[in-house]
Structure formats: C-alpha cells, structure tokens
A = this chain, B = another copy of it.
Amino acid sequence: MNAVVVYDKQMEEKTLALLDERGVKLEDIAEIVYQIQIDYLPDLNLERCLSSVKAVLAKREVQHVVLTGIALDKLAEEHKIPEPLGELLRTDDFLYGVDEVIALGISNIYGSIGVTNFGYLDKVKIGVIEQINDKKRSGEQVNTFLDDLVASIAAAAAARLAHEAGYGHSRD
C-alpha cells in the first residue's frame, strides 16, 4: 500500500466524520437519491442508493469541496471569518451564491443530469436537506454550505445510477 492511498483514505474518513458531526448520515442522503430515482428505476432499493452515495464521496474532488464548504460553515459559526463575509454566511444572505457554485463543482462531474438534479433539489428541499435548513433557521447551526453540499452529493449519486442503468434524462 503506497503513501498516496493512505493519504486518500484519511481524507475520505475525515470527510465522512465531518458530515456525521454536522448531523448528516449517508443513509439520509441515500433516502433522497431513492426518492428522486424510484420513478425511473422501479426496482431500486436503498442499499444501491447508499452504495452510489459512497462512490461519489470516494472521489477526491468531492471530498475537497465538502471539506471546504463545511470549514466555512464552522468558521462562520465560531466568528472567525472576517466581516462582512462572516455575517453573509451566518444569515445565508439571499445574494450569496458561492455555496451553489462550489456544490456545482460536485454535480458537474456527473454531466448535465447531475446539474439538473442539483437544481431541482436546491428548490424542492427533501428529507435531511429540510432538517438542515430547520437548524439553520433556528440559529442552531450555520449551514449555508451544508444544505447545498448534501443536495449536490444526492444529485450526483442519482446521476451515477442513471448513467449506470443506461438511461439519463427524463424524456418528457
């Protein structure tokens, strides 16, 4: 086993640990994948959705985006981000779009299906995304990046299943 593999393994574990620390379980993300894919893949099950979520999170680019986004959320929470940016993040200012921009860095890798899935989930909050937002609204956590990260991981995992199954875009 060489150094690079060890390194990547640590990065992956850190990424999963951070999601868990912020209250996101991979099973919750898999649940979203299931909901947006079941119409296209009638014999889909949660286990396959979970595998797809894990495959997305095994990618280095994805890990880097997740680490960066959650770091910004936590630093804003701890008031370590200089103003006026800190306040923009704490209030998730309507005008601030860098959260969507970095989340698109995840969805883009899975082609236009990944991107359209993300756009949909960004509007129609489902499952754990809604819970993340509730914590944000109540002031319990700064989750400006987290909700978009979760939406983009789910969007990417769903697009992976679509490509695998040999279909890709809704026809209608």
A113 within 8 A of B: yes
Residue with the greatest number of chain B CB neighbours at <10 A, chosen from A94, A116, A125? A116
Residues 82 to 127 of chain A near chain B (Cβ within 8 Å): 82, 84-85, 88, 92-102, 104-105, 108-113, 115-120, 122-125
A169 within 8 A of B: yes
Say yes or no: A100-B71 contact (C-beta < 8 A), given A92-B171, A95-B168: no
A25 within 8 A of B: no
Say yes or no: A64-B111 contact (C-beta < 8 A), given A119-B117, A123-B170: no
- By a CB distance below 8 angstroms, the chain B residues around A93 are 171
A94–B64 CB distance below 8 A? no
CB within 8 A of A100: which of B10, B96, B112?
B112
Q: Chain A: residues with CB nearer than 8 A to chain B?
A: 4, 10-11, 14, 60-61, 64-65, 67-68, 71-72, 74-75, 80-82, 84-85, 88, 92-102, 104-105, 108-113, 115-120, 122-125, 133, 136-137, 163, 166-172
Q: Give the top 7 A-B pairs by smallest Cβ distance, nearest first.
A: A119-B119, A100-B112, A94-B167, A101-B105, A116-B119, A116-B122, A120-B123
